Amino acid sequence: MGVFFGYIFLGLTLAAPIGPVNAAQLDKGIKSGFFHAWLVGLGAMAADVIYMMMVFFGVVHFLEIPFMKSFLWSFGFFVLVYSGIESILHAGKVSSNTSSNEESPARSFFSGFFMSISNPLTILFWLGIYGSVLAKTSAEYDIAHVIIYSIAIFIGLIIWDITMAAIASSFRKYLNQKILATISILSGLSLIGFGVYFGIQAYKLLF
């Protein structure tokens, strides 16, 4: 049981570093509330599950082909820059009373999904971290334990997703419109920053 909780903690620490998805969750929570911020994280987790499965079945190496990496970097660049610009343009419309129903749940979910699935760092992340965990676990335990401990990692991701959504949505209750708009702009700039980094990496691979 202690090992199981250890893998839950691993899932939490894997999700904790601030990246595009966490920045997007913060922005979405301020604008649309807990549910939409949670959906952004849920979309990202769906992408994480896909990569976990690819590592598990050993097909993730296909994504290390230079053409695929450059495509993902480029796609990530467009997704993040678009999301960042949209965040900045709508910053002035943010208020603590904004209805959480203004944006469709599907859009929130897929924004998180595409941010994560198009991020080559996610591939390297899961290949390096989960790949090493998989190698260690499979060497010591049977396939049933490997699946159970993989589920434990995913539980950690879910806990972090709910925590981030709660933190992000709670901001909008205690901050005035000017501060909310400022945070939304900063979140947008953060997303654009990540996007530019992705674009530079794509350029290096292509040229």
Query: Given this model, what pLDDT does residue 175 score?
Result: 65
Query: Given this model, what pLDDT does residue 113 score?
Result: 93
Query: Given this model, what pLDDT does residue 75 score?
Result: 84
Going by C-beta distance under 8 Å and a sequence separation of 6 or more, which residues neighbour residue 157? Answer: 11, 12, 14, 15, 45, 48
Residue among 25, 189, 188, 35 at smallest CA distance from 104: 35
Is the model's pTM score more than 0.85?
Answer: no
Q: How far apart, in whole angstroms, are the C-alpha atoms of residue 93 and residue 178?
A: 10
Q: How far apart, in whole angstroms, are the C-alpha atoms of residue 64 and residue 130?
A: 16
Query: Given this model, what pLDDT does residue 100 score?
Result: 47
Query: Given this model, what pLDDT does residue 95 score?
Result: 54
The string of DSSP codes covering 24-71 is HHHHHHHHH-HHHHHHHHHHHHHHHHHHHHHHHHT-GGGGGSHHHHHH
> Which residues of the chain are under the pLDDT cut of 50?
98-101
Q: How far apart, in whole angstroms, are the C-alpha atoms of residue 51 and residue 48?
A: 5
Residue among 140, 41, 151 at smallest CA distance from 132: 140
Query: Given this model, what pLDDT does residue 43 score?
Result: 93
Quick: pLDDT tens for 119-137. 777 777 777 677 777 777 7
Reading the block at residue 182, the tokens are: 């400022």
